[in-house]
Structure 1
Amino acid sequence: MTPTAPHTAHHHEAHHHHGDDAQHDHPHGREHDAEGEMAELLDLDAEVLAEQVASIIAWLPVAAAPRRIVDLGCGTGAGTFALLRRFPEAEVTAVDASPQHLRRLRDKAASEGVAGRVHPVEADLDGAWPDLGAPELVWASASLHHMADPDRTLRQVRDALAPGGLFALVELPGFPRFLPEDAPRDRPGLEERCHAALGDHHAERVPHRGADWGPRLAAAGFTVEGERTITVNLGPPHPEAVGRYALTSLRRIRAGVAHSLHAEDLAALDRLLDTDDPHGILRRDDLTVRTERTVWAARRT
């Protein structure tokens, strides 16, 4: 889920899904590194929030188990593999603009023994759409808000769906939060100030984040059959992946807010991100994963 690489290359969920637009602030020549970091973040998001993604899929009001599914903005495959687990007779067409993300997805599909059920498609969904067949279910997690014209995208999803097909649109408010309010000790409230700065950055660059998709789905010819928000609050003790998830998320945030943070906040953030610092994020035992996912289930009418 989630929680986002080029504007059509997410899961959000993560994706991306989340705050992923910070990638565009990397200096020229670091795009590959930025995309690799984004892929790592998407993988960690999928690992840490696997239970939440599974619960969203289980909630979907599918009339019958779909056999043809499309994952729009699939990233590295969090939604793709969760959908395959839920619907063992289905095949998924996984669409993303990032060749690197699709390579990871192919490798995972091979390692999990489901390569024959996954069909990766490289495409920029703001341009000409590939032939997606007539899927019974389309899943889009943390990708719609990245589209240049999301209302056009919604109409294209409706046109692609089989009659009576279901569209699952999952969105998230941004990066998760991890630190206690009084952390770090030398700059309490640092994480919230980083999110506020990133919000200003996104308001300009990603204007559709946080949209109410219900009316827009109706305008595109869907009937919204359900809306649900999952609130995530995963406290300690937690698996080691949570520390890496926090580290990678805060690195992404830093890329988007470095130019606007107070110098002392930036220095404190860099100490948190220092993997050798005894007080760095990887060594904290008080992290809590706090985020939300909202899903709209919309039927083609």
Structure 2
Amino acid sequence: MTIHHDDLDRDTRGERRERDAELHAPFLEQAAARLRDLALHGDHTLTRVDRILDIGSGPGLAACLFARYFPRAEVVAVDTTRHALTRAAARARREGLHHRVRTHHAELPRDLDTLGTADLVWAANIVHHLGDQQRGLDVLARALRPGGVIAIVERGLSPRFLPRDIGIGRPGLQARMEAAAEDRFADMRAALPGACATVEDWPAMLARAGLVPTGTHSFLTDLPSPLDAAPREHLHDHLTRQRVALGDRLDPEDLRTLDALIDREADTSILWRPDAFYLAAGTIHTARACAHR
């Protein structure tokens, strides 16, 4: 069998997305528990959750988690990447959930209104990829059944993983990288089809979509030093990608520092540093559809 470079690239991206999702499993567990309590035990608007849409599912960790937390529900993992959906289906089989977790390929935002209705909609870091974010929320809101709950995951706090002064380069590297990444994010948003500016007040945007906001909650992923191998590989991959993405936005000294952090053979590498840690906050914004619509 011939292996093409595109296949290898897809495999690498798929492994990375799966590793990233598993790193944030504590956040997903806490979020799923919060949503179960809100959906079924909050104001008792819903008596059962029969169908869940996981928009931007990636390799399916969240979809399988929701299947366990909502044992009567069909969970639909929706993604734009077929390779990610293949991995999601494989994960569902491994976990014995394939009879309730199914995959659906969709182009976003074009196919948002073709996904059917659900009692719970989970959209993690997907709305900011839509040019008109408010319109995207409007469409997702229409997918909710009466009394249904939507959870939007957007931004939160950027991960921190090194001290301010790491002994090489100018102190404050992460702060400068974050500023450069924000500029790049703004350029990405501006280039999206139909891009329009909006104040990213997510509860207010959910209310404009006709929903009743039910709160904003943040959950920590806190991995203190010394880190295990898996989060170190995640950080090495993250810094390697940032070195490419921000190469024209950082000064030469910061680029040299990044090179030292991603050099696998150097004792300065993130793979070996004893001071490396991982602290991130994921934020979910939730809202409910009216019981009578």
Normalised-by-shorter TM-score class: 0.7 to 0.9
CA contact (8 A) 2:58 2:79 kept: yes
Q: CA deviation at 1:132?
A: 2.5
Deviation at 1:214, TM superposition (A): 0.8
- Where do 1:23-42 residues align within 5 Å? 36-42=11-17
How far residue 245 of structure 1 moved from its aligned partner, in angstroms, is: 1.5
In the TM superposition, what whole-angstrom CA distance separates every residue of 1:46-96 from its partner, at most 9, and x where no partner exists?
Answer: 222212211112112113441210001111123212212211222211111
Q: Does residue 292 of the first structure (1) align with residue 281 of the second (2)?
A: yes
Q: Give the partner amino acid of 2:183.
A: D
User: Equivalent residue for 2:44?
Assistant: none
**1:219 corresponding residue in structure 2:** 208
More contact order relative to length (CA 8 Å, sep ≥ 6): 1
Determine the structure 2 residue equivalent to 1:89.
72
- 2:42 is aligned with 1:59: no
Question: Equivalent residue of 1:55, what SS?
Answer: helix
The Cα of 1:136 is off from its aligned counterpart by 0.6
Normalised by the size of structure 2, how large is the TM-score? 0.84
Provide the C-alpha distance between the structure 2 equivalents of 1:116 and 1:133, rounded to a whole number of angstroms. Answer: 19
- Conservation of the 8 A alpha-carbon contact between 2:158 and 2:281: no
Using the alignment, how far apart are the partners of 1:169 and 1:135 within structure 2? 15
Sort the Cα spacing of 1:36 and 1:146 in 2 relative to 1 into closer, same or farther, 3 A: farther
Secondary structure of residue in 1 paired with 2:160 = coil
C-alpha separation in 2, matches of 1:37 and 1:187: 32
Q: Deviations over 1:174-217 (max 9, x none)?
A: 75221111115234322222221111111221367992211110
Q: Kindly provide the amino acid, as one letter, of the partner of residue 247 in structure 1.
A: H
Mark the CA change 1:33 to 1:194 in structure 2 (over 3 Å): closer, same or farther.
farther
Within the candidate set 139, 142, 149, 1:159 is matched to 142
* Letter paired with 1:48: L
Matched, 1:276 2:276: no
Matched with 1:45 is 20
Instruction: Name the Cα RMSD after superposition.
Output: 2.4
CA contact (8 A) 1:126 1:149 kept: no
Q: Give the whole-Å Cα distance in 1 for the aligned partners of 2:85 and 2:58.
A: 7
More deviation in 137-146 or 223-232?
A: 223-232
Q: TM-score, normalised by structure 1?
A: 0.82
Q: Relative to 1, partners in 2 of residues 1:246 and 1:166: Cα closer, same or farther, differing over 3 Å?
A: same
Classify the secondary structure of the residue corresponding to 2:176.
Answer: helix
Question: Which residue in 2 is equivalent to 1:4?
Answer: none
- Tell me, yes or no, if the aligned pair for 1:173 and 1:209 is still in contact at 8 Å: no
Q: Given residue 217 of structure 1, which amino acid in structure 2 is its aligned partner?
A: L
Distance, in Å, in 2 between the alignment partners of 1:44 and 1:136 is 28
Contact 1:141/1:170 (8 A) holds in 2: yes
Q: In structure 2, the residue corresponding to 1:115 is in which secondary structure?
A: coil
Secondary structure of the residue that 1:165 maps to in structure 2? strand
From 86, 89, 95, give the equivalent of 1:106. 89
Q: Helix, strand or coil for the counterpart of 2:232?
A: helix
Note the 1:96-245 alignment, pairs <5 A: 96-129=79-112, 131-173=114-156, 175-206=158-189, 211-245=200-234
Q: What one-letter code is carried by the residue in structure 2 that aligns with 1:243?
A: R
Out of 168-177 and 101-110, give the one that drifted further. 168-177
* Larger gyration radius, structure 1 or structure 2: 2
Tell me, yes or no, if the aligned pair for 1:136 and 1:165 is still in contact at 8 Å: yes
Aligned length: 273
Measured against aligned partners, the alpha-carbon deviations of 1:16-37 in whole angstroms (never above 9, x if no partner) come to xxxxxxxxxxxxxx87766555
| Contact in 2 for aligned 1:175/1:249 (Cα 8 Å) | no
Q: Distance in 2 between matches of 1:32 and 1:267?
A: 31
What percent identity do the matched residue pairs reach? 34
Structure 1 residues 187 and 33, CA, compared in 2 at 3 Å: closer, same or farther? farther
Structure 2 CA distance for aligned equivalents of residues 294 and 190 of structure 1: 24
Structure-2 change in CA distance of 1:199 and 1:35 (3 Å): farther
Q: CA deviation at 1:276?
A: 2.1
Q: Return the offset for 1:121.
A: 0.9
Mapped contact 1:93–1:121 kept (Cα < 8 A): yes
Q: Which runs of 5+ in 2 are unaligned?
A: 41-46, 191-196
CA displacement at 1:277 relative to structure 2: 2.0
